Structures are given as C-alpha cells and as structure tokens.
Amino acid sequence: MKAGLQEINELGGVWGSLVLNNRGEVIVNAAPAGLNQDALANLTNQAVDLLSSAVESLPGLTETVIHYSQKKLFILDLKQVVLLVICTPSVDLSLLRMTVNVVVTNWGADPKIQKQLKDHYVERL
C-alpha cells in the first residue's frame, strides 16, 4: 500500500497521505517524517469524525474535501479503511481524484492488499 501512497504523494500539491482504520488509527503512513505526532493524531481523528458525520447525514457520500487556510484534506471512504491525503490549497483536485482512483483500483485487484485491508477493519464508532 505504501507504494500507492507514494504515487499519490508524487503529485504536485500533495504533502502526504495515510491509510487509517475507521477509528482514525494509522495503518500505513506516507506523511512527512517531521510531522508532529500529536498534530497528526489530531488530524486523523478529525478526518474520520468529519467523514463519519458526513456519511451519516448523506448516505452514499464517499469523499469529503475540507479546506483550511493552509491546507486541504482529501478524505476518501474505502469502507474497510479511510484514505487521507494532506494537500496544499493549490492542489488540482481533479488530478488528485483520478490519481487516487487509479491507486485504489489497483488495491482492489491485489489480493494481498485486500487481505491487509480486511485484517485492519474495525467498525466506526
């Protein structure tokens, strides 16, 4: 999975990406090493909380983008896990969505990754 995240990270305006379980715990981390761990935990919990409330209000929603003044968070619900991409405000969201779709489609076709995702599944709180 890390190779997929690195592919996403190569896109202009992407700062880092992570795969989280449904409770916001990090499964695979391709975020910059210098990132403060408390800030990261805060960010991942916030991402999963926002996604959960959005999905609860809008069944069928799979993607949320949160715009902050200094960054954008792209949050994708993969059901078993959550993909979080941390971007700069200038990221091209169309290009990001397509790149993510290519990566996620590859994951779907890879039995090893599917098993890994299944093993990390936890129910949302």
Partner 1 sequence: MAEVLKGNLAQLSLLDILRMLSFGRRSGRLDIRQGGKTGEIYLERGNIVHAVTGTQLGEKGVYTLMGWLEGDFSFTPDVNVPDHSINTTTEQLMLEASRQAEQWEDIKDVLSSTDAVFNISPSGSTSTVSLKPIEWQVLAQVNGERSVVEIGEILELHEFEVAKIIYSLTTAGLLHEVTGTRPSFREIVDESFFVQLNEIFTEVMGPLGPVIIEDEIRLLGEDRAAFPQDRAAELVERISLEISDSAKRAKFQKEMVSVLRG
Residues of this chain that interact with partner 1 (CB under 8 A) are 11, 50, 53-54, 56-58, 64-69, 92-95, 97-99, 101-102, 105-106
Nearer to partner 1, 29 or 97 (CB): 97
Nearer to partner 1, 19 or 75 (CB): 75
- Please report how close the Cβ of residue 83 comes to partner 1 at its closest, in angstroms: 15
Instruction: Please state the closest distance from residue 66 (CB atom) to partner 1, in A.
Output: 5
Q: How far is the CB of 76 from partner 1 (least distance, A)?
A: 13
* Distances from the Cα of 62 to the Cα of 30, 35, 36, 82, angstroms: 21, 27, 28, 10
15's enclosing H/E stretch is strand 14-20
User: How far from chain centre, in Å, is Cα 114?
Assistant: 16
C-beta of 70 vs 119, nearer to partner 1: 70
Residue with tokens 């078993």: 80
d(CA 57, CA 54): 5
Integer angstrom CA distances of residue 121 from 19, 30, 47? 12, 19, 17
Q: How far is the CB of 77 from partner 1 (least distance, A)?
A: 14
Minimum CB distance to partner 1 smaller for 34 or for 59 = 59
